[in-house]
A and B are shown apart, each in its own frame.
Chain A
């Protein structure tokens, strides 16, 4: 990967990649593996970007797809965690996240299904429903309903009173 490409086309969007990879991993080692894999795939697939969407949207899409694929591989080889159970050993400290509550939110997000994790991350990143639907491969109405349901679940896990 040319360092120019990384500096100009990936690094400015690193926060997106970091946030997504964090939702699909439980420890620093996995997180770094996922991050590197996403960067590598962005670089390898760069010629497939047809300017039909924003570069950032494309990065969201590719990051999610890579994480989902990686997670599937990990599940198949039983080397990593499963998504439906909160792992006992979760990384408590994080050089990337300075608020304790964001860690708690991430823990809650990791309890969601793989797809729901992607949906809520995009929602929290304030991506329009239409864009989330395009990235996930659904329609905007379904996404709205789904987000509502995911938020209810997260609120329940985090013990947040809904308005």
Chain B
């Protein structure tokens, strides 16, 4: 080669008109597919994790001599898994033949519906989990010792089901608070897993909406 690199460069681009810009079509196709795929993957592994955890809880609780508590918690976890499987199947039914925008909007709608459904389930899950653990603790040796200590300290305390009323009230208040804040707790739980994806999804949808104007 005889030309210098500067000359090659200049000759190569004598006219900038020769540089044809690619069309900006399907700008978000890949992004849309990626985000839904990623969500599906995390969701799937989350369900597998819950399933494994349900089995582990059952086995460990049986070994520890608290099989009923284990069975109850496992059953609750399994209900989450079953619900999740249903949601997974409905996600597959989303229409992929439309535009990226329509696809992402339908995914967003699916997500909102799923969160409402799961939110309801969790409003039962959190208090029930707490009550089952509290009941189990009450029936252990440690629980009985604690109650005896409480009764010795406050001999005039009112008892109900062989348990100090104040203690029952405290448990009831905590369970009520868990019921009341179950939505918030679920969102915190959900965002810890999917928060970044949700933010990205919102950004993409908002970009696309601006694009459509």
Contacts and interface: CB of A to CB of B under 8 A. Distances in A.
Interface of A: 1-2, 6, 11, 14-15, 17-19, 31-33, 35-36, 39-40, 44, 95-99, 101-102, 104-105, 120, 124, 151, 154-155, 158-161, 163
Interface stretch (B5-13, B73-81, B161-169): B5-13
Interface of B: 1-6, 8-9, 11-13, 16, 18-22, 24, 27, 30, 207, 210-211, 213
A39 B12 CA distance: 23
A36 B5 CA distance: 28
A102 B9 contact: yes
Given A18-B19, A98-B18, A36 B24 contact: yes
A104 B207 CA distance: 38
A101 B24 contact: no
Nearest to A12: B16
B180 to A, nearest CB: 40
A105 B19 contact: no
Contacts of A160: 1-5
B13 A154 contact: no
A127 to B, nearest CB: 13
Contacts of A124: 5-6, 9
A64 to B, nearest CB: 17
B207 A44 contact: yes
A46 B82 CA distance: 46
A102 B3 CA distance: 11
Contact of B12 (A14, A44, A105, A158): A105
Contact of B27 (A18, A36, A101): A36
A161 B1 CA distance: 8
A101 B22 contact: no
A19 B27 contact: no
A124 B6 CA distance: 6
A96 B16 CA distance: 9
A97 B21 contact: no
A24 to B, nearest CB: 15
B199 to A, nearest CB: 14
A14 B4 contact: no
A33 to B, nearest CB: 7
A152 B18 CA distance: 28
A1 B211 contact: yes
A159 B22 CA distance: 32
A101 B8 contact: yes
Contact of A1 (B9, B18, B24): B24
Nearest to A33: B30
Nearest to A1: B211
Given A154-B5, A159-B1, A160-B3, A97 B211 contact: no
A99 B18 CA distance: 11
